[in-house]
Amino acid sequence: MRIRLIAVGQKMPGWVTEGYNEYARRLPAGWSLELCEIPLNKRTKSADVQRFRAKEGEQMLAAIGKGDKVIALEVKGKEWSTEQLADKLGQWHDNGDSLSLLVGGPEGMLPEISNSADVKWSLSPLTLPHPMVRILVAEQLYRAWSILNNHPYHR
């Protein structure tokens, strides 16, 4: 199963890159997690943020793999327990699905980008820092895999 994490933003702090890479590398062959970074346009007081969001959204859509199930990470999406995530990943894996997970920029995704997704997933009702979302998603994917494979990581 190929999972592509498509996230707005580049040049993350070292701790973000290290945390994400740690969990991505733990996934076994057949469960690849790829990061696709979309450049974040520089926000200034006079910047046209709507235009930036639209451009970032177009780039996110272009990065989605052909035939992928698209999951938008949205604060108003469905909240899943880790066990529910494992069940969903197991179903998608068994169906031969590949996934594209979308993480918007500081202002979030435009509604038309989010609404084009097959599923909306909320990690938390809290507003989370976007760099941290990368680590949380990678860790939860690894944890869900561990549940599906009776690995002791999830106790």
Binding residues for S-adenosyl-L-methionine: 73, 104, 123-128
Which residues face 69 on adjacent strands?
Answer: 99
> Minimal CA–CA distance to 130: which of 20, 25, 54?
20
Is residue 115 within 8 Å of residue 76, measured between CB atoms? no
> Minimal CA–CA distance to 123: which of 145, 101, 154?
101
What does the block give as tokens for 47?
């910047």
Query: Which segments are annotated as binding site?
Result: 73, 104, 123-128
